[in-house]
Amino acid sequence: MRWIVLGFLFLLSVLNYTDKSVLGIAAQPIMDELNLSYDQFGLIGSSFFVTYACGGVIIGILTYRFNTKYLLIIIALGWTASLVTAYFVETLAHLIFLRAILGFFEGGTYSLCVVHLARWFTSSERGFTSAIMTSGTVVGTYVAAPLIVLGIINLGWQHTFALLGLASLVWATMFFFMKDEPQRPLIEDVKSLASNKEVPFKDVLKVFLNPYVLSTLVISFVSMWIATWVLTWAPTYLIQIVGLEPQQMSLIFATMGITGAIFAICIGKFTDSLFKKNRSLIKSYDRVLITILLIGSVSYLMTTIVSSPVLACIFLGVGLVMNASLLPLNTAIKSMVIPKNLVGSVLGIALPISSMAGVISPWMTGYLLKISGEDIRAGFNSGVLIVVVLYILAALILLSTRKFKITTSEKEDARRVNEEENLQINVALNK
């Protein structure tokens, strides 16, 4: 059952990022039909991210009181409502309103998925399962795009929006019949993890401001920074700087994304095996994450040095593959260092911070390109060097704050051991 649940979370991630990307792909027909200017169309995109941050906070906090299964169903139904009603769009205001609704309900998706995943898988499985779950973002970004294009060309943008809404409705209907949580409670091998305890909601800011928790939020910011840079500028970089033809660019771009997803799943499995062996978060997930950050920083740096198109593609590809592993590894760490009843709330509160990277990153590179004049390569190199600095800073912050991570006390450990022993005795007696 738990692997079926993971499959549902993967599909939800696919739908999440497909819904995000459909507006950009349908930009031209929407602008033509509604007679919109570029700045008006930009308002539509901005409205999504404003409510996205608000939804992340509100829905994340709701996880403290409400079952994540039903919250996930509610957000999927929210997507359906905002997408199917595209048939009624006649003005700019209508479209802004519908994208704002979609943004609100999509804002809580990540935190809900992380909390629900933790209900079904132990800490020693989080790297692998988080990678599978988050690989849906790659499928939604790279693989679903051609299908969306075909839908817009053959059916029109409104029908395409409605079909995506229908897909969300089907997902919600099928997920309704899934169990809320495993029949038997999960038993953790490592008792000192903060995820093994619950704390009052009044301590949410104290947990949020824990140095090690903050370091994981810094990594989320960095990951979002490069992810939005890739979606906005990587195709232009490959065409104008590397010198690829559009068809070559699309093939290489998709290959980088798919390779990143496969690598993330493999590195997640490897990290899980390390954790099972040494039972140390620091010697497994933390250490691998720092290594990924350092390799990524070197790879991005090399793209500003090499002149060969082949080498530029290779180093950029390595950097993007490393970035694909940041989200699942960081997700695994956050699910272990935050008390289990506050994971959704903390991630929801943190979402506006990481979302700012999605706003600043594309604009920053555009500004650097503008001031670089005709030397476009210098502008791109400056943008990439910012990524290098962010990667190194994130690694140093994570390294310097690891000793502050939240753990359970020895008293809590003893109590939990007794509870688990009593549970095992009851199970044996029932048999």
Indicate which CATH number applies to the domain containing 137.
1.20.1250.20
Hunting for tokens 């409670």 — which residue is that?
A: 185
Long-range (24+ apart) CB contacts under 8 A made by 299-303 are 300/384, 300/387, 300/388, 300/391, 301/384, 301/385, 301/388, 303/381, 303/384
Report which of 101, 79, 95, 92 is spatially closest to residue 158, judged by C-alpha positions.
Answer: 95
Asked whether the beta carbons of 262 and 139 are under 8 A apart, the reply is no
Q: How far apart are CA 303 and CA 280, in angstroms?
A: 35
Q: Are residues 430 and 283 in the same domain?
A: yes
Q: Are residues 418 and 338 in the same domain?
A: yes
Report which of 334, 261, 326 is spatially closest to residue 60, judged by C-alpha positions.
Answer: 334
- Indicate whether 2 belongs to any domain: no
SS3 labels along 290-336: HHHHHHHHHHHHHHCCCCCHHHHHHHHHHHHHHHHHHHHHHHHHHHH
Q: Are residues 165 and 223 in the same domain?
A: no
Domain holding 395, by residue range, is 188-431
Q: Are residues 167 and 195 in the same domain?
A: no
**Is the full-model pTM beyond 0.85?**
no
Q: How far apart are CA 56 and CA 76, in angstroms?
A: 14
Asked whether the beta carbons of 182 and 48 are under 8 A apart, the reply is no
**Residue 18, both tokens:** 């497909």
Q: How far apart are CA 236 and CA 239, in angstroms?
A: 5
Q: Are residues 307 and 375 in the same domain?
A: yes
Q: Are residues 303 and 285 in the same domain?
A: yes
Q: How far apart are CA 381 and CA 389, in angstroms?
A: 12
Which of 178, 209, 241 finishes a domain? Answer: 178
Residue 10: the pLDDT is: 94
- Indicate whether 353 belongs to any domain: yes
Which of 178, 213, 235 finishes a domain? Answer: 178
Residue 420: the pLDDT is: 46
**Total number of domains in the chain:** 2
DSSP class of residue 26? T
Q: How far apart are CA 344 and CA 313, in angstroms?
A: 38
Residue 402: the pLDDT is: 87
CA dihedral 294, 252, 250, 373 (to 10 degrees): 50
Hunting for tokens 């790879």 — which residue is that?
A: 299
**Residue 430, both tokens:** 């029932």
- Indicate whether 3 belongs to any domain: no
CA dihedral 77, 117, 19, 154 (to 10 degrees): -90
Residue 411: the pLDDT is: 44
Which of 158, 178, 198 finishes a domain? Answer: 178
Q: Are residues 127 and 208 in the same domain?
A: no
- Indicate whether 183 belongs to any domain: no
**Residue 303, both tokens:** 């793209």
Residue 273: the pLDDT is: 92
Q: Are residues 224 and 346 in the same domain?
A: yes
Concatenated DSSP letters for 365-392?
HHHHHHHTTT-HHHHHHHHHHHHHHHHH
- Indicate whether 25 belongs to any domain: yes
**CA distance readout (Å), 212 to 114, 284, 402:** 18, 15, 6
Residue 91: the pLDDT is: 85
Q: Are residues 230 and 288 in the same domain?
A: yes
Q: Are residues 221 and 163 in the same domain?
A: no
Residue 410: the pLDDT is: 38
Q: How far apart are CA 107 and CA 124, in angstroms?
A: 27
Q: Are residues 344 and 412 in the same domain?
A: yes
- Indicate whether 1 belongs to any domain: no
Q: Which residue type is seen at 368?
A: L
Q: Is the dihedral of CA 351, 352, 353, 354 positive or negative?
A: positive
Residue 421: the pLDDT is: 47
389-427: buried (b, 16+ CB within 10 Å) or exposed (e) per residue?
Answer: ebbbebbebbeebbeebbbbeeeeeeebeeeeeeeeeee
Residue 267: the pLDDT is: 94
- Indicate whether 399 belongs to any domain: yes
From first to last of its 431 residues, the chain has per-residue pLDDT tens of 889 999 999 999 999 888 877 777 787 788 888 888 766 777 787 777 778 888 888 998 898 888 899 999 999 999 999 999 988 888 888 888 988 899 899 988 988 998 899 889 988 888 899 999 988 887 777 777 677 878 888 888 889 899 999 999 999 999 999 988 887 767 766 777 877 788 888 888 899 999 999 999 999 999 888 877 876 677 777 777 778 776 677 678 778 888 888 999 999 999 999 998 888 888 899 999 999 999 999 999 998 898 888 888 889 889 988 988 988 898 889 888 888 888 888 988 888 888 788 778 877 877 888 888 888 888 888 888 999 999 999 999 999 998 888 775 434 444 444 454 455 545 444 55
Q: What are the start-end ranges of the H helices in 63-125?
A: 68-84, 92-107, 109-120
Q: How far apart are CA 71 and CA 65, in angstroms?
A: 11
Q: Are residues 16 and 107 in the same domain?
A: yes
Report which of 91, 14, 84, 97 is spatially closest to residue 51, judged by C-alpha positions.
Answer: 97
